[in-house]
C-alpha cells in the first residue's frame, strides 16, 4: 500500500506521525463531509495529505502528466544537530541577505539547491552577512517560481531538496554564525492548480468556492487571483500555526517572514479579525530567541506592537517607503529633481519610536522583477537602462547602498546586489539562463563587492570605531537642497568610537572642501569613502581625515560626485 499521508508537526496529531517507540505510524486528517477516509488504496477522491512533508513525484506539467504521486512519511527527529546552540545576533546588528534558491546557484543537479547553497555560505560570511532570508521553498505547481504560489504547506519543493538537506543547510549556516529566516505564505494558496490537495478537499464546496480550507464567500478573493484561507475555522488556523512551529522547531529556523500580512488581516470587504489573532497566536508561541518579520507595506505600527498592547507581535516589518525615497532620488536623471528633505524624512522614520522595527532595503525580489508586464529591474538598471555598469549607475547605486547601511534600521540586500547584478530579475531559470546569478561578476566587479563588504564591516562596528551605526539615534544636522548634500550624526551612547558623522552628496558636482559642523572638536578620521579608487579606477578619492576647530566645531570635508563618507573619532 502506498501512504497517502505524511509526517506533520509537533502538535498532537495531524498528518502522519511516527510513533515514539518507532513501531508504527499514526494517521490523522481533518474532514467535514467525507463518510470514510483511507490511508491508501484507490478511493473515489484521491487527495494528498495537507500535512504532506515530501512527495514522490515532480512531473513536468508541460507534457500533461500529474505533478505529484504520493506522500512520503518523514521522521524529523533523525537529523543530528550540532550540540552547541546557535545564538541569534543582536537585532541591531542584523544584516539580511534575501536569497532565491532557484536562481542563486546551480551545480547541474536537481533536488540539490539547499546543498548547493551551502557551498556559498563562506562567501556570505566574507561579505559580512549574518542572516539569510530564504524565499518560499515549499511545493509549487509551476516548473519555476518565486515561491509565492504554494500548493502544499509542509512539503519542501522537490527541485530544492528534502527535509534532511534543509536541516543540514540550517545547521551549516548556524555553524558559521548566520541566522536562517524562512519566508512563509499564509495569506493565500495557489493560484495555480490546488486540486491534488486543498481545493475541495473532502468533495464539499459552496457557490463555486474552494471548500473547507477557504472562505465560501467573496472574502476568499484576492487582488492577485489566488484564494484566501478561512482564518475563522479553527482547523485552518491550526494547520497554519502548526506550519510555523514546524519551521521553528523541526528545521531550527531562526525566524519567519510572513508574506503580505495585509492580506491576512484584511480583505476587499474590510478587516479580518481572525487573521489578526492568527498572527498574534504564531508570534505568541515562537521562542523569545526567534524573530518574525511582517511584509505588510502599509506602515501599520500595530504590527510591531506587543501582543499584550493589542499588537500583532512582530519584531520587524518591511519599510517600502525607504526603498521608494532612495529609488526616487538616485534614479532621476537631473540633479535638481532630487530632494534632500525626502531623504531626511526617511532617515528619521521609525515604528513605535524604535528604529530597529523596520527592515530597509534598496533592492528586494518585488522591486527587481517583472510585475504584470512592467519590468522593474535592479537599481543600476533603473538608473541607466541597458548600461548598468556605467559610471552613473555604479556611483548612484553604491550611494544608495551607502545610505542603506548608515541609516537606522535593519538593512537587507537582494542576492547579487553586492556585485552589481543588472537587468530585470526573473525566477524562470529553466527558460532564461540569465536568471541564474552570474558568479563571475564577483571578480569582474570586485571593487563593488569590496565596497559592500566595507560598508557592512562598519555597519557592524567590526573595526570598533563606528558603534553609532548600530544605535537608535540620528540627528540630521545639515540639509543643503540646493547643492544636494545631507549630513547626519549617528550614535548609541556617544563619545569616541561611537559618534559617527555621515555626509552624502547627491549631485554630480564634487567638492574639495565643504564645511559642516561636528559634535565635538578634534580629529575626525575618514573610515569610508564610496568615491575611493579601490572600488573603481574611475572614482576620485575625494574624502579625507579632517579636524573640527574650536567654536562651533566646524570642519571641512571632501566629497566626490554621488558619494558618501563616514567619519569618526
Catalytic residue numbers read 259, 295
| Contact (CB, 8 A) for 303 and 266 | no
Give one DSSP letter per residue of 146-203, joined into a string.
Answer: -S-SBS-SSSBPTTT--HHHHHHHHHHHHHTT-EEEEEE--S-B-SS--TTTTTTTTS
Total count of residues recorded for the chain: 569
81 is written with which cell numbers?
544537530
Contact 529, 493 (CB under 8 A): no
Distance (Å, whole) CA 154 – CA 15: 10
User: Which DSSP letter does residue 88 get?
Assistant: P
- Residue 41, Cβ neighbours under 10 Å: how many? 9
Report how far apart the first and last C-alpha atoms of the chain are (Å, whole number): 72
Question: What single-letter DSSP state applies at residue 561?
Answer: T
**Pairing label, strands 316-318, 358-361:** parallel
How far is Cα 363 from Cα 347, in angstroms, rounded to an integer?
A: 17
**Which of 203, 101, 201 shows the shortest CA–CA distance to 151?**
201
For the beta carbon of residue 374, count every other beta carbon within 10 angstroms: 9
Helices (H) and strands (E) in the chain, counts: 14, 22
In this structure, what C-alpha cell is assigned to residue 48? 494528498
Local structure of 265: helix, strand or coil: helix
**Please, are residues 434 and 440 in contact by the beta-carbon 8 Å criterion?**
no
Alpha carbons 234 and 494: distance in angstroms, whole number: 51
Element (H, E) at 473: strand 473-480
Q: Which of 359, 343, 349, 357 is nearest to 311 (CA)?
A: 357
Q: What is the largest CA-CA distance in the chain?
A: 88
Residue 559: its H or E element: strand 554-559
d(CA 411, CA 374) in angstroms, rounded, equals 26
For residue 220, the SS3 value is helix
- The residue with cell 578634534 is 522
What ranges make up the beta strands (E) of 259-315?
A: 266-267, 270-271, 291-294
**3-class DSSP state of 458:** helix
User: Which residues sit opposite 504 in a β-bridge?
Assistant: 486, 564
| Cα gap 566→384, rounded to integer Å | 27
**DSSP tag of 249:** I
Amino acid at each position: 500500500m502506498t501512504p497517502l499521508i505524511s509526517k506533520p508537526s509537533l502538535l498532537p496529531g495531524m498528518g502522519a506521525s511516527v510513533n515514539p517507540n518507532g513501531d508504527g505510524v499514526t494517521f490523522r486528517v481533518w474532514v467535514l463531509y467525507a463518510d470514510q477516509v483511507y490511508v491508501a488504496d484507490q478511493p473515489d477522491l484521491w487527495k494528498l495529505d495537507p500535512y504532506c512533508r515530501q512527495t514522490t513525484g515532480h512531473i513536468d506539467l508541460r507534457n500533461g502528466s500529474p505533478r505529484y504521486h504520493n506522500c512520503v512519511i518523514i521522521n524529523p527527529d533523525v537529523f543530528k544537530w550540532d550540540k552547541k546552540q546557535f545564538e541569534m545576533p543582536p537585532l541591531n546588528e542584523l544584516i539580511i541577505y534575501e536569497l532565491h534558491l532557484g536562481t542563486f546557484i546551480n551545480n547541474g543537479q536537481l533536488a540539490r539547491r539547499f546543498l548547493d547553497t551551502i557551498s556559498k555560505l563562506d562567501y556570505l560570511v566574507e561579505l559580512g552577512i549574518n542572516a539569510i532570508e530564504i524565499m518560499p521553498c515549499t511545493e509549487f505547481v509551476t516548473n519555476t517560481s518565486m515561491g509565492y504560489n504554494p500548493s502544499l504547506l509542509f512539503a519542501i519543493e522537490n527541485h530544492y531538496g528534502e527535509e534532511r538537506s534543509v536541516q543540514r543547510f540550517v545547521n551549516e549556516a548556524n555553524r558559521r554564525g548566520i541566522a536562517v529566516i524562512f519566508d512563509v505564505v499564509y495569506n493565500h494558496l495557489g493560484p495555480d492548480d490546488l486540486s491534488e490537495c486543498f481545493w475541495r478537499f473532502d468533495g464539499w464546496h459552496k457557490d463555486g468556492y474552494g471548500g473547507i480550507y477557504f472562505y465560501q464567500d467573496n472574502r476568499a478573493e484576492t487582488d492577485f487571483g489566488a484564494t484566501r484561507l478561512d482564518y475563522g475555522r479553527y482547523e485552518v488556523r491550526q494547520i497554519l500555526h502548526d506550519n510555523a512551529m514546524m519551521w521553528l522547531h523541526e528545521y531550527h529556523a531562526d525566524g519567519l517572514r510572513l508574506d503580505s500580512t495585509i492580506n491576512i488581516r484584511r480583505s476587499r470587504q474590510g478587516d479580518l479579525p481572525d487573521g489578526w489573532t492568527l498572527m498574534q497566536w504564531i508570534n505568541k508561541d515562537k521562542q523569545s530567541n526567534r524573530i518574525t518579520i511582517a511584509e505588510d507595506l502599509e506602515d501599520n505600527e500595530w504590527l510591531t506592537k506587543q501582543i499584550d498592547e493589542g499588537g500583532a507581535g512582530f519584531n520587524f516589518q518591511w519599510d517600502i517607503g525607504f526603498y521608494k525615497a532612495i529609488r526616487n532620488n538616485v534614479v532621476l536623471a537631473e540633479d535638481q529633481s532630487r530632494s534632500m528633505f525626502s531623504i531626511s524624512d526617511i532617515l528619521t522614520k521609525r515604528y513605535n519610536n524604535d528604529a530597529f522595527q523596520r527592515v530597509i532595503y534598496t533592492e528586494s525580489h518585488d522591486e527587481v522583477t517583472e510585475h504584470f508586464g512592467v519590468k522593474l529591474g535592479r537599481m543600476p538598471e533603473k538608473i541607466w537602462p541597458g548600461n548598468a555598469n556605467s559610471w552613473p549607475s555604479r556611483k548612484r547605486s553604491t550611494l544608495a547602498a551607502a545610505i542603506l547601511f548608515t541609516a537606522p534600521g535593519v538593512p537587507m540586500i537582494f542576492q547579487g546586489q553586492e556585485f552589481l547584478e543588472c537587468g530585470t530579475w526573473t525566477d524562470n531559470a529553466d527558460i532564461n539562463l540569465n536568471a541564474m546569478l552570474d558568479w563571475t561578476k564577483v571578480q569582474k566587479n570586485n571593487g563593488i563587492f569590496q565596497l559592500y563588504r566595507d560598508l557592512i564591516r562598519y555597519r557592524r562596528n567590526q573595526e570598533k570605531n563606528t558603534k553609532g551605526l548600530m544605535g537608535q539615534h540620528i540627528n540630521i544636522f545639515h540639509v543643503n537642497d540646493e547643492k544636494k548634500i545631507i549630513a547626519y550624526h549617528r550614535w548609541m551612547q556617544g563619545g569616541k568610537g561611537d559618534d559617527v558623522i555621515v555626509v552624502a552628496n547627491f549631485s554630480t558636482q564634487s567638492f574639495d572642501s565643504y564645511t559642516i559642523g561636528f559634535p565635538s572638536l578634534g580629529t575626525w578620521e575618514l573610515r569610508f569613502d564610496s568615491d575611493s579608487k579601490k572600488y573603481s579606477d574611475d572614482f576620485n578619492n575625494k574624502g579625507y581625515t579632517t579636524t573640527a576647530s574650536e567654536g562651533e566645531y566646524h570642519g571641512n570635508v571632501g566629497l566626490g560626485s554621488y558619494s558618501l563618507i563616514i567619519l569618526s573619532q
